[in-house]
Structure 1
């Protein structure tokens, strides 16, 4: 079995080579956030107050959607404590940044910081991990879903990126609700509901047509942008017994101007090594990772990663492969035989337990 190391092990090897300022909060990140916030407010006002042609409203919606997503990336950084460290200010700024995506700071820190980062790609403990064949055997819903032909399922999976972040946030509210202290449950619920109340209130103020262009369409666009990153973060990587970011995470590459506007969200392996470090310094972390462990580090262009997601299923087989149970096709994962430039598969052995599940799925 391949030897895994924890994120702390890697961080300890790289830390001596990083400047001390890399471990300090970087409040200057808020300036770009302010630009996005003013852009959102201005765009909503323009759509609501002026009777613009549908083309202009659509263009403004695209800008709003881009800004919604970018604010979400900033909120992610803020709630990791990399922008400000004062707890009440961190949560306030994080709530403002996540307002367009309707996610509260306490829920996000529980779901993302305390659970996903600690148990990344652990099938049982990571709420963002995709299931394995054992889960397929236990779930009628999954077996029904996997009866749908692969190409049709891939199309709907990519279409669902326009709603998936919102849907998953709602699911996480139910998933973690009982894990909060009773005194905090009301706060978590209030933080979740206030954004929705404000956006639904906007509907009654400006009418459906203006609301569609000022919130609903931008939300769909923002979901797609955010989920395009999140989908590539881990879904081509294996499930792992040790939280090893070089095994379970993928960094994608995008143009430098996109990295600037998206707060270096593409540097995902680096983020899992140093979640409490400002993403401003992730390019430096990347240099050291590629120098020290070039054969373990995974990166590829964003579009190539999305294409690989389209061409492979999202069900794990023996932890380190991906399987299409209806056809019995098994694909590698990153570090385990997957070549994104030439995606190939092998067949499940008919006599195995997985082969029997495959036969049941196909009925």
Structure 2
């Protein structure tokens, strides 16, 4: 692995080359959020008030789901302070944007801004990092799961993207609630429970059939879209002790119109260098990164990144990815993963017996 640099080191090098306006909030981004909010409300009212065949509800439900996801992308930007700076307004607008995903602004800033961004891809401190083989082997259930063939695990892993964000958000609430000041915990709890009260109230009002199309299916669609991005952000990158975004983050490329719809969420390395900058300016940051450090920068077409995720296992062992069920070792980005040859990206290594012996040792230790 190359020498690691902190995100602050890169930012200091690039900041003089960026316009001053790039570091100011861009409230015009709210117009896009308003459009998605109108589409969402109109879709909900149409399904709720019009009695037709559920087949008619299906396309409306899918549109609502894509709007849920886009509002989440905007909420992410708002809560980084890149749209408005006043704390009360930032949190209010962030709460509205994250309402469909039922994630409160105080929890999100604690979990995402203050922890994930500070400790990105640190195997112990990043709440979003995938665990190491050593950690996985401490669990009897996970040891069983990782005996399954990689294609089977990949299938269920991709299916889980449709609910992974919601489940992880609830888990983060449980993990971080106790870390808030006792005087702030009621507000954090209220932010978490109010959206669910809304959606449960909707179930009581419209009944289970319409509720499926008004909330459950859109939530699954939103989870799938959001997690398709999030799962490519770091899970092909190695773990790092130093938070180096050019090593531990990946930018994916999508058609321009998708970037417009998703508020440039694809520019993830750029976001980790300048989380307080509006994503409107990330194309300029990308250009500068490729001028200064082209050999360190990771970018991949979105569909190829998803294919690479399907073909690689998730447990980390010494910064590479290992598959306990087959004994194959897969390079991470910058550690041997050849994104141009995704048909054959696994390799057998002689020293995998060492990894296997660790696995066996952990099994014996846990079984005692």
Q: TM-score, normalised by structure 1?
A: 0.97
Residues 52-201 of structure 1 mapped to structure 2, 5 A cutoff: 52-201=52-201
Partner SS state of residue 142, structure 2: helix
Task: State how far apart, in whole Å, the 2-side matches of 1:168 and 1:74 are.
Answer: 19
Aligned partner of residue 51 in structure 2, secondary structure: coil
| Alignment match, 2:337 | 338
2-structure distance, mates of 1:133, 1:166: 25
**1:224–1:361 Cα change, 3 Å:** farther
What is the deviation of 1:360?
7.1
Does the residue aligned with 1:183 lie in a helix, a strand or coil? coil
Give the Cα separation in 1 of the matches to 2:338 and 2:126. Answer: 25
CA contact (8 A) 2:137 2:362 kept: no
1:330–1:348: 8 Å Cα contact kept in structure 2? no
Q: Give the one of 348, 351, 355 matched to 1:349.
A: 351
1:25–1:85 CA contact under 8 A, matched in 2: yes
- Deviant stretches of 4+, over 4 Å: 358-363
User: Taking structure 1 as reference, are residues 257 and 351 closer, same or farther at Cα in structure 2, changes over 3 Å only?
Assistant: closer
Q: For residue 70 of structure 1, give the secondary structure of its aligned residue in structure 2.
A: helix
Question: How far apart are residue 189 of structure 1 and its match?
Answer: 1.0
Partner of 1:272: 272
Within 1, Cα distance between the matches of 2:218 and 2:72?
Answer: 13
2:308 counterpart residue number = 308
Secondary structure of residue in 2 paired with 1:93? helix
Name the counterpart of 2:323.
324
Residue 228 (structure 1) aligns with: 228
Distance (whole Å) between structure 1 residues aligned to residue 224 and residue 120 of structure 2? 22
Contact 1:326/1:362 (8 A) holds in 2: no
Q: Does 1:47 align with 2:47?
A: yes
Structure 1 residue ranges without an equivalent (≥5): none
SS in 1 for 2:214: helix
CA shift at 1:326, angstroms? 1.8
Q: 1:199 & 1:53 partners in 2: Cα distance?
A: 22
Q: Distance in 2 between matches of 1:141 and 1:272?
A: 34
CA 1:350–1:224 in structure 2 vs 1: closer, same or farther (change >3 Å)?
Answer: closer
Contact between 1:240 and 1:248, CA under 8 Å: does it hold in 2? yes
Query: How much has 1:63 moved relative to structure 2?
Result: 0.5
**Structure 1: distance between partners of 2:358 and 2:118:** 31
| Preserved contact between residue 134 and residue 362 of structure 2 (Cα < 8 Å) | no
Whole-Å Cα distance in 2 between the matches of residues 109 and 87 of structure 1? 12
Cα deviation 1:300-335 (Å, max 9, x = unaligned)? 1111000000000010011x2000012211100000
- Provide the rounded CA distance (Å) in 1 between the counterparts of 2:156 and 2:60: 27
Shift of 1:154: 0.6
1:326, 1:358 within 8 Å by CA — same for their partners in 2? Answer: no
CA-CA distance at 1:350 after TM superposition? 5.7
Q: Which moved more, 1:335-344 or 1:112-121?
A: 335-344
- Evaluate the alpha carbon distance shift between residue 65 and residue 290 of structure 1 in structure 2; reply closer, same or farther with a 3 A threshold: same
User: Per-residue deviation at 1:148?
Assistant: 2.0
CA distance in structure 2 between the aligned counterparts of 1:169 and 1:97, rounded to whole angstroms: 15
State whether residues 143 and 361 of structure 1, in contact with CA within 8 Å, keep that contact through their aligned partners in structure 2: no
**Equivalent-residue separation in structure 2 for 1:223 and 1:135 (angstroms):** 26
- Is 1:241 the counterpart of 2:255? The answer is no
Q: Is the 8 A contact 2:102 2:196 kept in 1?
A: yes
SS of residue matched to 1:182: coil
What is the count of residue pairs matched by the alignment? Answer: 361
Q: Output one character per residue of 1:325-359: Cα deviation in whole Å (capped at 9) or x when no partner.
A: 1221110000010012321222353652x222445
Task: Output the CA distance in 2 between the equivalents of 1:344 and 1:137.
Answer: 22
